[in-house]
Structure 1
Amino acid sequence: MKKVFHPLMIMTVAVLCFCSCNKFLETTPSDFLSPANYYETEEQLNFALNGVYDILGQRAVYGDALISRMGTEADEGFYAVSSFSGPQVYSHSTADTYVLNLWQLLYDGINRANVLIENVNKPKMDEGKRNAIRGQALFLRAYYHFLLVSNWGDIPLMLKATNSANETSITRTSQKQVYEAILKDMEEAETLVETAQTVGFGGKINKSAIRGILARVCLYMAGNPLNDVSKYKDALKWSKMIIDENFHALNPSYQDIFINYAADKYDIKESIWEVEFWGNTAGPYREGGRVGINTGITNPSTAAYTYGFIQTTARLFNSYGSAKDLRRDWAIAPFRYQSQGTIKANWNATQVYERHCGKWRREYEVVSPKSMNDSPENFPLLRYSDVLLMFAEAENEVNGPTPEAYDAINAVRKRAYGKLLPGAVNVNEANVPPGLSKTGFADYLREERSRELCFEGLRKYDLIRWGILGSTLKQVSAEINANAPAALKYAAKAGTNFTEPRHLLLPIPIYEMGINKALTQNNDW
């Protein structure tokens, strides 16, 4: 679903912005609108804002790469193509196309935001609406920098619009300084945007979304490589603000969260911020993504065509313990489709690595006919369960495993076991074991994040900030080599190929280094 944006708006805005350090600098648009004769009305500001948002749904960002081709490099699953190479199996190079496209699009988004911020005061309009536009642009500029710094480390910090093709010699800024700029932008944005209650749907940035992402940013800063443990207090503050507001709540049904994404239904109380997708390419515009196509259950039928590139690891499957955890058989499909595409056949108990990611099920889509290559399903960037788990983690780090930390994680686990549904009994059955040490609670929470948030693009970065990505991948690789069927032992490639520190960061694209002579390369690349 795409409630706010219209593709024609994006086309209008695209020619207004130079794209920092990418191929766009080498072209001269034949039909160019300069900022000097645009940004004259509130409508034009909103068109420009739509252009800043649009980066989120591009194929090289959440439209495909960050949810599948670059989103499974951890211990939850593997890219189910034996011959494939690339970031998902740590066999990429400095010339990798996915790496280059992600870098370029994120800087494109930053520049679009910068142009808008520099022109936001031009039209006469309601100041509250102007502030909301400025706040969203500030936040998106910060969020794109956040994606860059968490993937590349030191990066060029771009806080002004690129106005000339000659502005290409820009040095990298330290991660610490980039994060400080991110916090500054996000904290200002939080004071400017509307509340989630006012916005009413997850496709538009709201105060809760900013507070939740601020908590995430602070957790990243508290962990590896910055290890600024003072930021745990800030993560606690921002996540607690959302909880204390008493507006957001867990959807009682885990599977309904994902059915809603497929059925174009918003649930702002659970799904606080999501990437918007729209349509089935039946018209002239292409605003669909590949949620449920690359990340669903393999299905040859055009009624719900799915490539099913993501399959699970036994580590994730076994972490649920049993089918009592209702998340297991939704997040990991217990069945496959037969050749007809509508008949389901269950996997047997020993067939674990064969199972696909099951969160995104195209059978629930309401857009017809279904496209083989584009899906209207939105993708979550922040859910309320993540807020609760971030709060529990930060509370434990600051104050130890307090009752408040237990309450937060237990709320997530109650939902997992169906204890929030009407008529539920034995409601404490799923609770975390009492009396855990600080370390024991942290270990339990780390696995709970995987059980709850698997296949949502967060696991690799969690493992990095905890300082255990390399060791975890090696363990999973050994498990696959020991236990996976022969035809699927290629799933161990990620752990086999991973080396540290090389693969903790992506390489600076060689193409960009050819344009920007001030760039230096990451270690071991």
Structure 2
Amino acid sequence: MKKIAQFICVVVVVLSGVSCKKYLDLAPDNTGTLEYAFRNRNETENYLFTCYATLQQFANATTNAGFTTSGEIIYPNNLTKHPIDETGFNLLRGSQNSSQPGLNYWDGENSGQAVFRSIRRCNTMLENINKPVDLGEGEKKRWIAETKFLKAYYHFYLARLYGPIPLIKTNLDITASTEEIKVKRAPVDSVFNYIVSLLDEAAPDLPPVIDNQAKELGRITRNIALSVKADVLMTAASPLFNGNPDYTSTQNKDGQKLFPAAYDPAKWQRAAIACKEAIDACEASGLKLYTFIPPASIRVLPDSLRTVLTLQGAVTEKWEQNSELIWALNPTFSWQGYATPRLTQKGVVNIFSNPSTFAVPMSIQELFYSDKGVPINEDKTFDYPGRYSLKTGDDANRFYIAKDSVTVKEHFNREPRFYANLGFDGGIWFGNGKTNLNDMYHVWARGIESFAGPKDVNTLNITGYWPKKLVNYQSVYDDGFQEISYRLPMIRLAGLYLLYAEALNEANGPTAEAYLYIDKVRARAGLKGVVESWTDYSKNPGKFGSKEGLRQIIHQERRLELCFEGQSGWDLRRWKELQIVLSTPMQGWNVYENKPANYYQPRTVFTAIFGLRNYLWPIKDNSLIVNGNLVQNPYW
């Protein structure tokens, strides 16, 4: 057995070019034999949970490329102290390289990024699942299905980052030759097809939902598998991987092409079918769009705030009570204090629980619609040229903006998702211990250093906008500390609806069914349907009638609905739009100033560095030396 473990270690070394300290993390500690790991049902279940281990570590938002490189949140890079791993955020500042790649999931240089190791654990599980004699047939089928899902998802995680990857279908035999160990990359279509085949094998033997949530919440269900399949096929059909002319010359050293040369429209139809299958399964299980139900302690709640709390709760509600949450990872979201402004002087004391440093650039703020449900630069009733002029809060807007608070005009007359997603100077912050409509907090963002005491960049939000959506309204960071934990969604029903609408439009152009699924999401957000909103209020009233126009609408709708959830970064990559989005300088308000006229002056915080090569991650140079069959990604 020791020889087997050593051989697997050699394979990891050849693939990644890193040392192998301990490949088999088995229970109990210091016992590294497969005979022990699969001697009975209990030990086999322990091994199944080691297959889940890397998946759970994906819950760390700061090492999630979809979260850190989306352009939705800026993290300051000039702090006097560095309390978090800033690698992912710094990638947008041009730090990515092939000698020591940031967020290096190919080599797995820390346990949370050891994805190839986790794939091999899954293979080991599948190869030994028949050994425990006390394992019932029903449980065995479920565990096999869970393992196949995990194996598929680990391949998918790597494919989104690297494109063509080696397919680790089985662990190599100890008699394998050196050339067999030196794996090569598989064509990207083969990668996606293999992932889908694993998900198809897994889905029938998975439970539709988790019945015993106290013991099993977080384990894989059929709804999860079908939803991930839809996501995989949407990714495969998207411009980054479907006939991308930037990659057509990329090939293995033997001349094998790694990307398809031509665009295949049939991929969208296949994705649409998968999306609808996932939606039907989820709805049959009772999933529906979330609606906030006020607790007994909130006796009066205006419709405007109810909608805001519904939109926040779709993300921050407990999994067990969230009617639209399809999948989340078990570790709770641990960054609420980074997304919360310091609402009073008392909050300043909570420097460790309330750093307040997740800053949202102005470009994201301006992405949200007007209250007419169209982009603010398209709304013929919105004063877009005068959006930076000053305006004072009044009674009509008191549940969004504090009365008598001076702010800019563009903070008025916006859609409910604007107020649910963003904290801004003068904006109402319902919660944090206060739910009385006559005594609510509002954000004070002007002259932060004077409000917080001595200037300390370690406590500064550098744009004047906070990702409010990431904070449970019941969490308290003021007089005391009480964090109401939640799990950041991986997939929720609203996102699945918009995936389906996107696939329908790409496959067939604008249709009534595509509008229907967009409008389901818009209605929950307090907006009228696409056709009505654009017809009545847009300067481009026929936009929804063409495939290209509806594509723009759907893409913006997904970015708004799923903002700050770690989804937009992946979407913008597969759409090949991230380079365009990041070409706009990251701006915020002049946060050191107290007077409104001085504070409300846009200033550039930094300019992102993102080129064509950054759509795919580089493979570490040393890995290419160790394994001569590997080729580098384009432009690195």
Give the TM-score taking structure 1 as reference length: 0.78
- Name the structure 1 match of 2:165: 155
Report the CA distance between 1:275 and its aligned residue: 0.9
Q: Secondary structure at the match of 2:556?
A: helix
- Name the structure 1 match of 2:207: 194
Superposed, 1:264-275 pairs within 5 Å as: 264-267=318-321, 269-275=323-329
Which stretch shows the higher mean deviation, 153-162 or 300-309? 300-309
Report the CA distance between 1:490 and its aligned residue: 5.4
For 2:291, the aligned partner's letter is P
Work out the CA distance in 2 between the residues paired with 1:349 and 1:441.
39
- Name the structure 2 match of 1:325: 415
- Name the structure 1 match of 2:127: 118
Work out the CA distance in 1 between the residues paired with 2:503 and 2:12.
36
Superposed, 1:471-490 pairs within 5 Å as: 471-474=580-583, 476-477=584-585, 480=586, 485=590, 489=603
Tell whether the 8 Å contact from 2:166 to 2:186 is kept in structure 1 after alignment. yes
Q: Residues 463 and 182 of structure 1: is their aligned pair in 2 closer, same or farther, counting only changes over 3 Å?
A: same
Tell whether the 8 Å contact from 1:406 to 1:432 is kept in structure 2 after alignment. no
For 1:185, the aligned partner's letter is L
Report the CA distance between 1:453 and its aligned residue: 0.4
Q: Residues 231 and 41 of structure 1: is their aligned pair in 2 closer, same or farther, counting only changes over 3 Å?
A: farther
Report the CA distance between 1:268 and its aligned residue: 5.6
- The partner residue of 2:190 within 165, 177, 181 is 177
For 2:423, the aligned partner's letter is A
Tell whether the 8 Å contact from 1:392 to 1:406 is kept in structure 2 after alignment. yes
Tell whether the 8 Å contact from 2:324 to 2:494 is kept in structure 1 after alignment. yes
Is 1:382 aligned with 2:391?
no
- Name the structure 2 match of 1:422: none
Tell whether the 8 Å contact from 1:388 to 1:412 is kept in structure 2 after alignment. yes
Q: Please list every run of 5 or more consecutive structure 1 residues that lacks an aligned counterpart in the other structure.
A: 1-13, 279-288, 420-426
Q: Please list every run of 5 or more consecutive structure 2 residues that lacks an aligned counterpart in the other structure.
A: 80-85, 109-113, 243-263, 293-307, 372-412, 434-439, 448-460, 536-541, 593-601
Q: Secondary structure at the match of 2:68?
A: coil
For 1:413, the aligned partner's letter is R
Report the CA distance between 1:63 and its aligned residue: 1.4
- Name the structure 2 match of 1:356: 466
Is 1:209 aligned with 2:224?
yes
Work out the CA distance in 2 between the residues paired with 1:410 and 1:392.
10
Report the CA distance between 1:198 and its aligned residue: 4.5
Question: What are the Cα deviations for residues 297-332 of structure 1, in whole angstroms up to 9, with x where unaligned?
Answer: 566554981434432222321222245522222222
Larger Rg: 2
Q: Residues 265 and 179 of structure 1: is their aligned pair in 2 closer, same or farther, counting only changes over 3 Å?
A: closer
For 2:287, the aligned partner's letter is H
Alignment length, in residue pairs?
Answer: 479
Question: What are the Cα deviations for residues 329-378 of structure 1, in whole angstroms up to 9, with x where unaligned?
Answer: 2222236999xx98954257999932011222266359xxx999x99532
Work out the CA distance in 2 between the residues paired with 1:120 and 1:294.
43
Work out the CA distance in 2 between the residues paired with 1:34 and 1:371.
46
Is 1:277 aligned with 2:331?
yes
Q: Residues 310 and 416 of structure 1: is their aligned pair in 2 closer, same or farther, counting only changes over 3 Å?
A: same
Superposed, 1:219-368 pairs within 5 Å as: 219-227=234-242, 228-245=264-281, 246=283, 247-253=286-292, 255-256=309-310, 259=313, 264-267=318-321, 269-277=323-331, 290-294=334-338, 297=341, 300-302=348-350, 305-320=353-368, 321-322=370-371, 325-334=415-424, 344-346=441-443, 353-361=463-471, 364=474
Q: Secondary structure at the match of 1:312?
A: coil
- The partner residue of 2:143 within 133, 142, 147 is 133
Q: Secondary structure at the match of 2:468?
A: coil
- Name the structure 2 match of 1:93: 97
- Name the structure 2 match of 1:453: 562
Work out the CA distance in 2 between the residues paired with 1:271 and 1:361.
17
CA RMSD of aligned residues (A): 4.0
Q: Residues 15 and 197 of structure 1: is their aligned pair in 2 closer, same or farther, counting only changes over 3 Å?
A: farther
Work out the CA distance in 2 between the residues paired with 1:412 and 1:258.
14
Question: What are the Cα deviations for residues 146-190 of structure 1, in whole angstroms up to 9, with x where unaligned?
Answer: 111111122222122367798862222221211111111111111
Give the TM-score taking structure 2 as reference length: 0.66
Work out the CA distance in 2 between the residues paired with 1:145 and 1:499.
25
- Name the structure 1 match of 2:152: 142
Q: Secondary structure at the match of 1:47?
A: helix
Q: Secondary structure at the match of 2:192?
A: helix
Q: Residues 268 and 16 of structure 1: is their aligned pair in 2 closer, same or farther, counting only changes over 3 Å?
A: farther
Work out the CA distance in 2 between the residues paired with 1:276 and 1:291.
15
For 2:228, the aligned partner's letter is I
